[in-house]
């Protein structure tokens, strides 16, 4: 006997049976409102296929779509769900990042343009000084910042030995000291004077204290924003150990704002 296709249609989920409004075994029915196809398999209504398909004119998904490593092409724009507090809602192509949105993605081109044009990218630089000296006394000395190797106990008339003129606005980040001997409680001070004053102030703007309990060991004296300066200020660093340090070296790290 030849195969017959008996197709029925209606709304809702069809019922199994032999009445005209029901689906008999082997018959196929289309639900016009659910956009699904059903068949009667051994007396049980069974859905055929993958379920509802989105029409070309658009529709609403109730689940996820897996593309299987395939592409979506010809998309004019993507509209993101912005109902969540941290949801991405837009893609911006702005060279100046003017929108400043926390719910947007920037294009690669706009990021590059912003970085290339922004002074913030190269605004701050760090300048590292390395100095060394010998001291056989446990008292305050000013470090030789100009390439000299002898410390001084005063800044007065000693700019050529211990002073440094600031090329930009900035701050002192830290001074790392390593001495031949254990110095015990020790202090590093930051000294400055503004334009119009010849030498750095004898009184430190800020001083940081640490106990240097071991010889041949580096100790990092970390300064705060208090140790800031303006372009053109005259600067100096002091070191006041409790015990003679003897052969001593230090690394000084300055942070400069190149926009000043």
For position 204, which CATH number holds?
2.60.120.1400
Is there a domain that residue 131 lies in?
yes
> Same domain for 192 and 237?
yes
Domain that holds residue 192: 124-257
**245 neighbors 180 (Cβ within 8 angstroms):** yes
Could you give the CA distance from residue 210 to residue 193 in angstroms, rounded to a whole number?
A: 25
Question: Is the residue at 58 inside a domain?
Answer: no
For residues 151 and 103, state if they share a domain: no
Q: Do 106 and 29 share a structural domain?
A: no
The pLDDT assigned to 81 comes to 64
Same domain, 42 and 140: no
| Residue 201 shares a structural domain with residue 178 | yes
211 shares a domain with 186: yes
Do 132 and 235 sit in the same domain of this protein?
yes
Measured distance CA(71)–CA(79) in Å, rounded: 18
Block means of pLDDT (10 residues each) for the chain, length 260 residues? 67 83 84 83 79 62 76 74 66 84 84 74 86 94 89 88 94 97 97 96 96 97 96 97 96 93
The reply to whether 134 and 216 lie within a common domain is: yes
188 and 223 part of one domain: yes
- Taking the C-alpha atoms of residue 205 and residue 233, their distance in angstroms, rounded to an integer, is 13
pTM: 0.57
The answer to whether 241 and 124 are in contact (CB under 8 A) is no
The single residue listed with the structure tokens 């390439």 is 147
Dihedral sign, CA of 159, 160, 163, 167?
Answer: positive
Going 26 to 27 to 28 to 31, the CA torsion angle's sign is negative
> What is the predicted pLDDT for the residue at 121?
59
CA distance 7 to 35: 14
- The answer on 214 and 114 residing in a single domain is no
Q: How many domains does one find in the chain?
A: 3
Question: Per the domain annotation, does 85 fall within a domain?
Answer: no
User: Looking at the structure, do residues 133 and 250 belong to the same domain, yes or no?
Assistant: yes
Same domain as 95, residue 44: no
């Amino acid at each position: 006997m030849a195969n017959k296709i008996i197709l029925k249609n209606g709304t809702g989920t069809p019922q199994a049976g032999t009445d005209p409004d029901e689906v008999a075994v082997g018959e196929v029915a289309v639900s016009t409102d659910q956009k699904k196809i059903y068949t009667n398999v051994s007396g049980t209504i069974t859905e055929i296929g993958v379920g509802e398909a989105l029409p070309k004119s658009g529709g609403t998904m109730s689940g996820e779509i897996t593309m299987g490593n395939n592409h979506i092409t010809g998309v004019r724009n993507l509209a993101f769900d912005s109902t969540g507090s941290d949801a991405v809602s837009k893609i911006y192509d702005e060279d100046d990042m003017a929108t400043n949105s926390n719910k947007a993605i920037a294009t690669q081109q706009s990021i590059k343009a912003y970085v290339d044009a922004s002074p913030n990218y190269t605004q701050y630089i760090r300048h590292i000084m390395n100095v060394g000296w010998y001291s056989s006394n446990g008292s305050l000395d000013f470090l030789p910042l100009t390439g000299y190797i002898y410390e001084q106990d005063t800044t007065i008339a000693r700019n050529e030995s211990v002073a440094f003129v600031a090329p930009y606005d900035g701050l002192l980040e830290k001074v790392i000291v390593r001495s031949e001997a254990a110095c015990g409680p020790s202090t590093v001070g930051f000294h400055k004077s503004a334009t119009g004053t010849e030498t750095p102030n004898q009184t430190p703007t800020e001083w940081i204290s640490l106990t240097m309990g071991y010889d041949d060991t580096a100790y990092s004296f970390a300064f705060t924003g208090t140790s800031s300066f303006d372009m053109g200020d005259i600067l100096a660093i002091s070191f006041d150990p409790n015990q003679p340090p003897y052969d001593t070296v230090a690394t000084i790290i300055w942070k400069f704002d190149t926009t000043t």
